[in-house]
Structure 1
């Protein structure tokens, strides 16, 4: 083990944002074009498949790199990183429970319309928001694909500092209050 890895805090939760396996779409498209040309009676003409290989691989690699930067999630004992934004776990006062009607907009809880952590405008597609009450009365949404795992890892960290739910925390913005 190198000295740099010894000082890194242990990850309690991690999602990379996207898989590099998607880049294989480039070579797959090139092979498909070769087979289409061969079955069409044109023989093996490598120019069009090479163009597909370069363009598709490059475009998908760019998308995967962006997703790995902007939609990755990492939780350690001290920090929660959502994309490029990192907050200290010490700033989190409460993890709100799952909404009873996640799909219904009739009973939206206040945290569901709060700012999503990270530099993105909202919760990224395919992710589910988790309500957080932060210091200073702020509310925000953490998010993850495996949101139940993130919640299960984050809740004990907050509760060991603040105490169990219902202990000296103002819940005036919880269920039933739309704004």
Structure 2
């Protein structure tokens, strides 16, 4: 079956990871350098502002592209994708409750999903109990929405009174 004839999968939750708007800091840096040159009495020369524009835009474009690959989240009724790692919703047995109080819950020491070494900066972890007595942390900026969607999917499959 070809991809064009397949029905699109319903996306229940999505975060893109980073915005391309950050790349506009490159032109802003170039304009700033041009204004600094002009205010210092050197007149306007294209070389330094051009270098700043290219370097800042280039470095930020690389970082945004990496963030869009490694810190994006997508939840469908069948899979949870965290960065480049995909797990089947059937592997999720339980979604642990949110951490409250002074004690650190055990699930916060679980491996973070994705190929990153931990939960990415600016995101909050969500404890998951997986099949074969494994644990993991899903993560997202809008973690309450992801937690709610994951809990709903798991409870549809495994009623709360039968959860291990």
Q: Secondary structure at the match of 2:132?
A: helix
**How far did residue 168 of structure 1 move?**
4.3
The equivalent position to 2:109 in structure 1, one of 109, 113, 127, is: 113
Indicate the residue corresponding to 2:4 in structure 1: 4
CA separation of 1:70 and 1:5: change in aligned 2, threshold 3 A:
farther
The alignment's TM-score, normalised by the length of structure 1, stands at 0.87
CA separation of 1:19 and 1:5: change in aligned 2, threshold 3 A:
farther
CA separation of 1:168 and 1:62: change in aligned 2, threshold 3 A:
closer
Moved over 3 A (4+): 3-6
CA distance in 2, matches of 1:86, 1:118: 8
Query: What's the CA shift string for 1:57-99, capped at 9, x where partnerless?
Result: 0000000000000000000000000000000001100001101
The alignment's TM-score, normalised by the length of structure 2, stands at 0.95
Indicate the residue corresponding to 2:55 in structure 1: 55
CA distance in 1, matches of 2:7, 2:24: 34
Query: Are 1:167 and 2:148 counterparts?
Result: no
RMSD: 1.3
Please tell me whether the aligned partners of residues 93 and 163 of structure 2 are also in contact (alpha carbons under 8 angstroms): no
Alignment of 1:125-140 (within 5 A): 125-140=121-136
**How far did residue 8 of structure 1 move?**
2.5
Unaligned stretches of 5+ in structure 2? none
Query: What's the CA shift string for 1:92-121, capped at 9, x where partnerless?
Result: 0000110113xx4xx221111000000001
Q: Secondary structure at the match of 1:131?
A: strand
Matched pairs, number: 162
**How far did residue 5 of structure 1 move?**
8.4
Unaligned stretches of 5+ in structure 1? 170-179
Query: What's the CA shift string for 1:111-165, capped at 9, x where partnerless?
Result: 110000000011001100000000111010000000001011111100000112x
Query: Are 1:141 and 2:146 counterparts?
Result: no
